[in-house]
């Protein structure tokens, strides 16, 4: 059976089918086995679905209509090294080639949370350092792999946390927490052309140096 590490991919279009709370809890409970520095487990997790997620989406749209600037708690990079920029460009071109006309829908999908029925938000105390962001990365991957094993698709996206004020209001997230990333989760729309795309990965010898073996 293929490993979920090789079958997991970013789902960019979801079916409206709700994710049962029991299934979401099973995913999160398994993911909480993720490692962290000195077992600090610095993550605080909030999940939204149904009317709560609809209120978040409406709040995002309202902010956009009012011209309120996007300002995630974890600032986006202002620039990328040349090699990373090239891979970002290849991703965009690859989606356009694979998805064809469906690629034109990507902006709409992104704005509308990919039509996912649920979103998981990962937060951490504002006093913590990038060491703890590493730990949140570990639990994020664990969530996505646990979801994959249960037939659920996921995508981690900064666009899901672009208006922290709305998330704090609707989810009761305290000001003491930074909202780091959102993970859309649900059942993949396998008929949508945009989900046919798979991004390339660097070969091992280009990404790693192995010595003394």
From first to last of the 213 residues of the chain, give the pLDDT tens digit.
789 999 999 999 999 999 999 999 999 999 999 999 999 999 999 999 999 999 999 999 999 999 999 999 999 898 999 999 999 999 888 887 777 665 567 778 888 999 999 999 999 999 999 999 999 999 999 999 999 999 999 999 999 999 999 999 999 999 999 999 999 999 999 999 899 889 999 999 999 999 999
Q: Is 168 exposed, middle or buried (0-12, 13-18, 19+ CB in 10 A)?
A: middle
How many whole angstroms separate alpha carbon 48 and alpha carbon 117? 9
Residues of the domain holding 171: 4-75+82-196
Q: Indicate whether 170 belongs to any domain.
A: yes
Separation CA 185–CA 47 (nearest Å): 10
Evaluate whether residue 205 is within a structural domain. no
Residue 211 within a domain: no
The answer to whether residue 210 is domain-embedded is no
Domain count, the chain: 1
Residue 147's alpha-carbon distances to 42, 84, 104, 206, in angstroms, are 21, 28, 28, 29
- Does pTM top 0.75 for this prediction? yes
The CATH code of the domain that includes 170 is: 3.40.109.10
Would you say residue 185 lies in a domain?
Answer: yes
């Amino acid at each position: 059976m293929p490993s979920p590490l090789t079958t997991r991919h970013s789902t960019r279009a979801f079916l409206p089918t709700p994710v049962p709370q029991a299934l979401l809890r099973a995913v999160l409970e398994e993911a909480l086995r993720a490692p962290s520095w000195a077992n600090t487990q610095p993550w605080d997790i909030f999940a939204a679905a149904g009317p709560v997620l609809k209120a978040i989406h409406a709040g995002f749209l309202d902010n956009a209509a009012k011209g309120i600037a996007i300002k995630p708690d974890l600032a986006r990079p202002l620039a990328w090294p040349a090699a990373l920029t090239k891979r970002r460009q290849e991703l965009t071109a690859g989606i356009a080639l694979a998805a064809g006309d469906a690629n034109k829908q990507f902006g709409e999908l992104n704005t509308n949370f990919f039509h996912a029925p649920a979103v998981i938000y990962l937060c951490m105390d504002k006093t913590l350092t990038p060491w703890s962001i590493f730990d949140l990365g570990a639990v994020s991957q664990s969530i996505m792999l646990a979801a994959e094993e249960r037939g659920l698709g996921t995508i981690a996206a900064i666009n899901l946390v672009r208006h922290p004020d709305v998330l704090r209001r609707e989810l009761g997230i305290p000001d003491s927490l930074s909202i780091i990333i959102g993970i859309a989760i649900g059942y993949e729309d396998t008929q949508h052309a945009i989900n046919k795309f798979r991004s390339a990965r660097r070969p091992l010898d280009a990404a790693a140096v192995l010595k003394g073996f």
